[in-house]
Chain A
Amino acid sequence: MKLQVFNDLPREEYLFCGHTACPGCAATLSVRYLTKALGKKTVFVITASCFSIIAGQPPLRTLDLNVYHCPFPSSAAVGSGLKRGLTAAGDDQTQVLVLAGDGGTFDIGLQGLSAAAERNEDIIFVCYDNEAYMNTGMQRSSASPYGSQSNTTPAPLAKPTPKKDIMSIIAAHAIPYAATATVAYPRDLLAKFSKAGTIKGFRFFHLLSPCPPGWGIESDETIELSRLAVETGVFPLYELEDGEFVTLSHKPEKLLPVADYLRPQRRFSTLTAADHEKIQNSVEHGWKKLLARAGNR
């Protein structure tokens, strides 16, 4: 694969080196990129997740930005309150960014997220989705895909139900802006966050975040798996505005076989050829639906 060099990304760094994330953590790399796009007038609200640890033990800090931690189900409400509080305190410039994992988004945080989206609170909600509760050591979440193993869906069993479609739930709220992104496409990720920074109202990001220890991949495979997720159609990159489909950010000429994405991951090791076919069909079905929506624009 051809090496790409990005010399035009913002030079500012808001994520210090020496943080405590695992090597190859896509969530941490995502935060490094998105903070470059949003800049220094950003305050983070971080809910219970790997990032509760990665952010550092106070008074130490990983981010060169203000960070407030909050309890697990409360992040969307705390973030919304922080934004309104800032407005009341005379600051209508600072962006409030809520950072949650898939647990804090798809599961325990969903009620508060839905409510904040419905109220069109002026915040950016970022879900870094590593598809299981990784901070507690890899237990299934409702973001875990069909056929994935975890410590609560251990081999020879695996998750019997498909991943929850969070973007459809978000789309149903008709919020001003929502997008998917991954670190394999940093230019796309940065452009989407830069765009989000100029929009008022509720903004949502779904970032697929490969997790080397959780997924059973090597730490240097994060980018490759992120890219394969997109190229196979497992995780398409797109934007929604007001709940309506806007653009497909990256359209592969032809989708790669889903098995290319599944095989390198230990969490899918119990899958049979029949499972692969079932997943392939499901991904193709989803992809066609997405193309149909894209065609309508």
Chain B
Amino acid sequence: MAQKIITGNQAVAYAVKLARTQVISAFPITPQTTVVETLAEMWAQGEYTGEFVSVESENSALAYCIGAAYAGARAFTATSSHGLAYMHELLHWASGARLPLVMANANRALGAPWCIESDQIDSLAQRDTGWIQFYCSSVQEILDTVIFAFRLAEEVRLPVMVCYDGFYLSHTYEAAAIPEQPQVDSFLPAPARKPAFDIDNPENRHGLVSAEAMARLLNVRYRATEMAGEKYELLDQEFYRAFGRSYEAVEYFGPKQAGTLFLTAGGMAQTIKSFLTVPGREEALLRVKQFRPFPSAGVRDILSCSHVERVIVADRNVCMGVGGIFAQEVRAALYGLPHPPQVIELNLAGGVDLTPEMLEKALAAAPGYAADEKIMWAVELL
């Protein structure tokens, strides 16, 4: 296994190649662009031998993958921000049609005004489209998660979105182990070279149905989504056996009896971890990797421990009129607990950089927060 110093976007490209992807269709958008460029370079050099198609829009990029998956091919696209928003209708279609697509999304804010910073609202706004969503916190994890995503997608026949912070991870160089092809093949079998439909037994797929038929299909899909959550741990163990690395759906980092927990998703976890490794720190971190299905039980198990007094949720997104979206999910997971911890939001919407100083200030201010005063705006701590 070769170690390379690569960016998050390059990690995606390595994983897509190793996954023996058959059809790639994408449209460039900052900060995802180098995913497409790296794949184009691999294609031009003959390292990637599948189809590589530059389309005219993100809407067509996902539509193209949907067509490829209709045919039974392993397909991939990557996007960000407005590109993901432009795919919205097709995101629903892909999950409704039960297509095992994989997409990488470099998180970025949505205009107006134009902003290319790493807000997570692009993918979080797609939380109800039926895609499995993961948030990565390192370049290595991006590479591993893309490979993992193909396997999971094909097991449960649902599309998977692999999200990571634009620039903070998409453009930051880190050391990453590039797996060998046989290693990947052992975890993710090469796709069958066989069309998904039979010329002699034609079918009419995804045409108009009644409310009752739709309800049944939604019900089955709901169960498949739950199953994706249930399968995560087993597949992660299998991944560990193949690659020697493992990622929990909900990761705990820090002292066991911490009274104050930070909770976040994505690259901010790295900042918080390094902050917590300073001697004398007593807080811990809960990193949520899996967002859909939301690992409510895993989050609740940890936050319901009696020593947990307070959880500070670092959200780099905001749902207007409500607050940070991870914080919402955490509150929902805690609903019904007799003595839930106080949930305080540290909101970095807009893509504000999380710094150790900010964490220091948030910790100092947290005890003064009343129950009904929930959002600490990061920009006001600068």
Contact = CB atoms under 8 A, between A and B. Distances in A.
Interface residues of B, number: 44
B207 A52 contact: yes
A84 B93 contact: no
B196 interface: yes
B51, B68, B72: which has the most chain A beta carbons within 10 Å?
B68
B199 A66 contact: yes
Contacts of B3: none
A84 B68 contact: yes
B197 A111 contact: no
A273 interface: no
Nearest to B57: A111
A80 interface: yes
A210 B300 CA distance: 62
Given A52-B208, A88-B73, A89-B73, A78 B63 contact: yes
Interface residues of A, number: 49
Contacts of A71: 63, 89-90, 93
A77 B202 contact: no
A61 B25 CA distance: 31
Contacts, number: 171
Given A52-B208, A81-B75, A85-B22, A91 B67 contact: no
A90 interface: yes
A89 B196 contact: yes
B207 A90 contact: no
B67 A67 contact: no
A53 B22 CA distance: 32
A97 B23 CA distance: 19
Interface in A72-117: 73-74, 76-91, 94, 111-112, 114-115
B36 to A, nearest CB: 16
A77 B203 contact: no
4 nearest CB pairs, A to B = A81-B67, A85-B71, A85-B68, A74-B63
20 contacts: A43-B197, A52-B208, A55-B207, A59-B204, A63-B204, A69-B205, A70-B63, A70-B206, A71-B63, A74-B63, A81-B53, A82-B70, A84-B51, A85-B67, A85-B73, A88-B22, A88-B23, A88-B193, A115-B60, A119-B55
